[in-house]
């Protein structure tokens, strides 16, 4: 079976749409609200630009960035931007540190 380029593109779009739907439902379940689709898409795109590849990495970034007020095309908050653009960190390390920093920031505000 051969898939044409248009079929691959359609499959990719369907996969992305399903992922964004799962993310939005997760956000709704977790915090009682979810970002609109254009914002979810923009956060996804930004996460990919940071080198995040797995769904788990992307969801972690998207949820924390959205919660911290990230609204592309405006840059992420400085503490997120600095971490996510560090070329010496792996994607896994970026996400682990992002959660640690978010937890620390929440503790400071409490």
Kindly report the pTM of this predicted structure: 0.89
- Which range marks the domain in which residue 42 is found? 35-109
Check if the beta carbon of residue 60 is closer than 8 Å to that of residue 51: no
- 6 is a domain residue: no
Report the domain count for the chain. Answer: 1
- 86 is a domain residue: yes
- 44 is a domain residue: yes
Q: How far apart are CA 78 and CA 96, in angstroms?
A: 17
- 13 is a domain residue: no
- 96 is a domain residue: yes
- 23 is a domain residue: no
Q: What angle do CA 66, 99, 103 make, to 5 degrees?
A: 95
- Reference 101, options 20, 89, 35; nearest CA is 89
- 26 is a domain residue: no
Predicted local confidence at residue 6, as pLDDT: 82
pLDDT tens per residue, the chain (110 residues)?
Answer: 666 888 888 888 999 999 999 999 999 999 999 999 999 999 999 999 999 999 999 999 999 999 999 999 999 999 999 999 999 999 999 999 999 999 998 876 54
């Amino acid at each position: 079976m051969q898939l044409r380029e248009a079929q691959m593109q359609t499959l990719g779009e369907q996969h992305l749409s399903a992922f964004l739907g799962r993310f939005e439902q997760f956000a709704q379940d977790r915090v009682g609200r979810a970002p609109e689709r254009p914002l979810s898409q923009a956060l996804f795109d930004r996460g990919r630009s940071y080198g995040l590849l797995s769904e788990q990495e992307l969801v972690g970034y998207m949820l924390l960035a959205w919660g911290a007020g990230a609204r592309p095309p405006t840059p992420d908050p400085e503490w997120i931007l600095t971490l996510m653009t560090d070329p010496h960190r792996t994607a896994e390390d970026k996400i682990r540190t992002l959660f640690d920093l978010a937890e620390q920031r929440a503790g400071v505000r409490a």
